[in-house]
Amino acid sequence: MENMEVKEAKGKLGVLIVGVGGAVSSTFIAGTLSVRKGIGIPVGSLTQLATIRLGKRYENRFPRIKDAVPLAELKDLIFGGWDIFDENVYEAARHAEVLKKEDIDAVKDELEAIKPMPAAFDRNFVKRLHGTHVKEDASRWELAGQLREDIRRFKAANGCERAVVMWAASTETYIPQSKEHDSLEAFEKALKEDNQEAVSPSMCYAYAAIAEGCPFIMGAPNLCVDVPAMWELADKNKVAISGKDYKTGQTMLKTVLAPMLKTRMLGLEGWFSTNILGNRDGEVLDDPGSFKTKEVSKLSVINTILQTETYPELYGNIYHKVRINYYPPRKDNKEGWDNIDITGWMGYPMQLKVDFLCRDSILAAPLCLDLVLFSDLAQRCGFYGIQSWLSFYFKSPMHAPARVPEHDLFIQHTILKNTLRKIIGEPTLDYLD
């Protein structure tokens, strides 16, 4: 196979993060800077640690992805972004209390230099937060214009050849898809008419990024880039988009355990999931509107994997419940309990119980790094629109209306690596050798 034509990753790559002062973002940035200095290990990052098998099994070719695939180098990343609070990223990282002080202090000067731009914010969409560093008195159209100008100014000030925009901010309140989202013309009309019910702040960021030719990554479950209007804009401007909602803790387990049940044709009667977490994320999700957005994202996984309509005798009557509880003492250290009632031979009942004590931002940070590097790669490859090969990283993978999303973690992993093989001109693997 011939190598795909991929533009060189020359110059600086801007990484513009919405919610740059949040726990996920500050952990991602501090960790990446530490790895860049040679004092941290990028645990959890496929781009930095994983290998990729090339050719036949007997050829024994297993280079690291970063050595085989033309990714941007960490030294070329320039971080910036927006936040509703004005503290620099060093102060934000200290406030989040995810990383130890000595780990944050090791990159203190670089973190202090990253100061957020005022955010596009509407408290009606995130009721539990009170933003103090926000763009004032602007219509939705003006907000999008200001964000576009922010992107241009950041790239010019930092000498960036290109940029990626990533949402790592709080979950917005649930809104249904409406006629304003059905076409680019209807969406731009809603922007110009300042329709504040149909156009969320996150949509302003997505519109601005895509309009400026920057790949956009949606890391929360709210309605944003997963609508026809955004797909039309991404196709028009030839921009890569991906989302939505980073797959970190409990849902990551579901995308492993549910395929296990289906592969062995074991039945499922009920799946009860509950979480406790603190930090800003837990506080935001304590609001019923924001929780509904997250709930819809979490509930979609099991039915899709198990193909409930295809296997009604096994999965036709599943009771699936998800709960998230704000518990400040845990801060970023989330705990997820799952009680799973399954059935085996002759319908005899069994149970599976999982207690996952995880660190939310520690799991999300390497996903952010991979998504930035892979989204930039996609853009340089000339890929545009929905990047379904990045579904590995998301709870609710975006997909075209006529397609069924793939949720199985290991199938997603195979698709991702086969896409990388195609990019570098290697045969894809069917594992029959």
Stated pTM of the model:
0.94
d(CA 431, CA 201): 45
- Quote the pLDDT of residue 290: 66
Mention every residue, 6+ apart, whose C-beta is less than 8 A from residue 338: 250, 253, 254, 257, 271, 272, 273, 352, 353, 354, 355, 356
Alpha-carbon distance 248 to 330, whole Å? 17
Closest Cα partner for 75 from 33, 117, 44? 33
Mean pLDDT, the chain cut into blocks of 10 residues (433 residues total): 82 98 96 97 98 93 97 98 97 95 98 98 88 91 97 98 96 93 98 96 98 97 96 98 92 94 97 88 69 67 90 95 89 91 98 94 97 98 97 91 87 97 94 74
Q: What is the pLDDT of residue 432?
A: 75
Residue 299 CA: distances (Å) to CA of 214, 254, 323: 31, 10, 11
Q: How far is CA 433 from CA 59, 288, 347, 364, in A?
A: 11, 51, 37, 35
Q: Where are the domains of the chain?
A: 12-246+362-423, 250-358
Nearest CA to 421 among 54, 10, 125, 171? 54
Tokens describing residue 324: 């998230």
Return the closest-CA partner of residue 55 out of 432, 427, 430. 427
Q: What is the pLDDT of residue 265?
A: 98
What are the backbone angles phi and psi of residue 256, rounded to the nearest 5°?
-105, -45
Q: Is 22 exposed, middle or buried (CB count within 10 Å of its CB: 0-12, 13-18, 19+)?
A: buried
Q: How far apart are CA 21 and CA 96, in angstroms?
A: 9
What are the strands, taking DSSP E only, across 22-94?
Answer: 77-83
Ranges of beta strands (E only) in 151-257 are: 160-167, 216-218, 240-243
The dihedral built from the CA positions of residue 209, 37, 32 and 256, taken in this order, carries a sign that is positive
Which residues fall within 8 angstroms of residue 37, CB to CB, at 6 or more apart?
Answer: 106, 107
CA distances from 353 to 174, 266, 270, 300, 395 (A): 30, 16, 12, 20, 21
Q: Cβ-count burial of 137 within 10 angstroms (0-12 exposed, 13-18 middle, 19+ buried)?
A: exposed
Quote the CA–CA distance of 89 and 117 in Å, as a whole number. 12
- Indicate the pairing of strand 349-359 with strand 160-167: unpaired
Fold (topology level) of 250-358: Dihydrodipicolinate Reductase; domain 2 (3.30.360)
What are φ and ψ of residue 352, in 5° steps?
-130, 130
Please state, in angstroms and rounded to a whole number, the distance separating the CA atoms of residues 354 and 174: 29
Residue 117: count other Cβ atoms within 10 Å of its Cβ.
Answer: 20
CB atoms within 10 A of CB 159: 10
Residue type, 49: L
Instruction: Compute CA distances 278 → 97, 275, 334, 340, whole Å.
Output: 11, 10, 7, 25
Q: What is the pLDDT of residues 379-423, one digit of tens each?
A: 999 999 999 999 999 999 998 887 888 999 999 999 999 999 999
Specify the CATH number for 12-246+362-423; select among 2.40.50.100, 3.40.50.1860, 3.90.79.10, 3.40.50.720.
Answer: 3.40.50.720
